[in-house]
Amino acid sequence: MPIMKQKITPCLWFDTQAEQAARFYCSVFKNSKLGRISYYPNAGQDVHGKPANSVLTVEFELEGMPFLALNGGPQFKFDEAVSFQVPCKTQDEIDYYWNALTADGGQEGPCGWLKDKFGLSWQVFPDFMGDILAGPDRTAAARVMSAFMQMKKFDVATINKAFKGE
């Protein structure tokens, strides 16, 4: 099934795991689909070093957002300078994404950040967090920030208590 094209589409550079990663992300996000897979032709091996008929790119879509996964080689790695945000409505939703994205070798980070098993960074957080931090009650915002700076995975109950000053 074709993936809808947008003016800007993130391209994720992998060594050889593009298809594996796209399938993993599509398994984590329920509103997702796998698209076209392209393959390296029998040309250009002197430049790209990839065998003919190995996966070149994989198109996929997560929650309506198109992505392209590229098997470009080992030259580049993901780092925390770029991450994808997953705003969540409930603690159960936070728990689901946190557990799914850190499974099989992912790494927990501070303040709702994590790396998945491919090294891609994600932020899993309550969707109301922006309202609190940008809201008029600066004292409550400071309490909330002090609370979540101590967390890895966000705890909604603790954040709500901090907001209320409890």
CATH number of the domain encompassing residue 153: 3.10.180.10
Rounded to two decimals, the pTM is 0.92
Per-residue DSSP letters for 6-37? -S---EEEESS-HHHHHHHHHHHSSSEEEEEE
What's the pLDDT at 30? 92
pLDDT in tens, 26-71: 999 999 999 999 999 998 787 888 888 999 999 999 999 999 999 9
- The whole-number average pLDDT for the span 74-88 is 96
Please report whether residue 1 resides in a domain.
no
Domain count, the chain: 2
- The whole-number average pLDDT for the span 77-101 is 97
- 54: domain CATH number? 3.30.720.100
